[in-house]
């Protein structure tokens, strides 16, 4: 299961407790800093693989699919993702056709399926992104630069300390 996350400097802003009569603000120095992450959850092993990119587009999606292939050499991949425009682009279709040409559908190297439209609640990767953003919001006081924000976010992803109901929703007995 795949999704992209666009981490923004402003993501450290969240809800905090304080007196209702006082406005609490957290200064954001540069709201334009951003980092795009591609993430894939191996539903069988529960391993989460990430790849950074400068933005979400067809070219970077293909690079991510190639990265996944390099992580699972010889495996046939079933990709389940949302309907982002670059997932449906002609460039992606041409890439998949080049991989799967002259193969029976059961032998395709990459098969892509989509989640229901406008249904992020179906994708467990959305919860992984949320957990990472929750961590940076909880430790906002350490986040003096965007590089620190990225480090906290990547730490939460790389430690793979997530377990939530959606991880088990699509199993054999679901």
Is 151 inside a domain boundary? yes
Is 108 inside a domain boundary? yes
80 touches 113 (CB < 8 A): yes
Is 21 inside a domain boundary? no
Alpha helices, H only, the chain: 58-71, 90-100, 124-138, 146-158
Is 26 inside a domain boundary? no
Is 22 inside a domain boundary? no
Beta bridge partners of 77: 110
Q: CA dihedral defined by 7, 10, 16, 21, rounded to 10 degrees?
A: -160
pLDDT-derived band at 173 (thresholds 50, 70, 90) equals: very low
Structural domain boundaries, residue 110: 2-6+32-167
Is 145 inside a domain boundary? yes
Torsions phi, psi for 74 (to 5 deg): 80, -10
CATH number at residue 48: 3.30.420.10
46 touches 19 (CB < 8 A): no
Q: CA dihedral defined by 84, 165, 170, 122, rounded to 10 degrees?
A: -20
pLDDT digits (tens, 9 = 90+) for 43-72: 888 889 999 999 999 999 999 999 999 999
Q: What is the mean pLDDT of the chain?
A: 83
Beta bridge partners of 111: 78
Residues 6 or more apart whose Cβ sits within 8 Å of residue 143: 12, 136, 149, 152
pLDDT of residue 36: 92
pLDDT-derived band at 130 (thresholds 50, 70, 90) equals: confident
Is 70 inside a domain boundary? yes
Is 150 inside a domain boundary? yes
Domain total in the chain = 1
**29 has a pLDDT exceeding 60:** no
Q: Could you identify the residue written with the tokens 């040409």?
A: 101
- Cα–Cα distance for residue pair 23/147, rounded to 1 Å: 28
């Amino acid at each position: 299961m795949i999704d992209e996350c666009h981490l923004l400097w402003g993501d450290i802003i969240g809800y905090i407790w304080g007196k209702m009569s006082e406005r609490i603000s957290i200064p954001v120095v540069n709201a334009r800093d951003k980092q795009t992450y591609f993430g894939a959850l191996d539903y069988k092993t529960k391993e989460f693989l990430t790849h950074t990119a400068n933005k979400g587009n067809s070219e970077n999606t293909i690079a991510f699919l190639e990265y996944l292939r390099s992580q699972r050499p010889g495996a046939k991949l079933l990709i389940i993702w949302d309907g982002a425009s670059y997932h449906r682009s002609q460039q992606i279709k041409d890439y998949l056709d080049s991989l799967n040409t002259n193969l029976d559908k059961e032998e395709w190297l990459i098969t892509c399926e989509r989640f229901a439209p406008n249904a992020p609640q179906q994708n467990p990767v959305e919860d992984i992104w949320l957990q990472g953003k929750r961590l940076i919001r909880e430790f906002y006081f350490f986040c003096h630069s965007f590089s620190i924000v990225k480090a906290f976010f990547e730490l939460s992803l790389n430690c793979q300390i997530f377990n939530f109901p959606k991880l088990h929703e699509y199993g054999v007995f679901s």
